[in-house]
Amino acid sequence: MRNAIEETDEGCIIHLKVKLGERCRFPAGYDEWRKRIEIEVNEEPVRGRANRQIRAMMADFFALNGDDVVMVYGHKAKEKGVLVKRSMLEVEKFLKNGL
């Protein structure tokens, strides 16, 4: 799972694989082949609704404000990079408790 997290000066970029599902879950698993953490959303990827849901879910999961979760790449793709303004140790701790 550590392969899906990249530390930066601002925090950590979490590499995600988005799956459309009936419910919202984060983390929903780990894709070892793609080395990405899975997230399930129930919003359609129309007009940024799924991206807003991802940001809100991650902000809630990591106990952050919405402004502290920034989509870095993959705005129109299933594979995304999301910057979370927390240290690597904090991110790993949250994710281990969530999986």
Q: Which residue in this structure is represented by tokens 């984060």?
A: 26
Do 99 and 91 meet the contact criterion of CB atoms below 8 Å apart?
A: no
Domain containing residue 15: CATH number: 3.30.1200.10
Q: For 38-68, write each residue's pLDDT tens digit.
A: 999 999 989 999 999 999 999 999 999 989 9
Question: How large is the average pLDDT for residues 63-79?
Answer: 96
Closest CA to 14 of 69, 56, 52: 69
Decide if pLDDT at 4 tops 90: yes
Number of domain units in the chain: 1
- The distance from CA 91 to its chain's CA centroid, rounded to whole angstroms, is 11
Q: Which domain holds residue 81?
A: 2-98
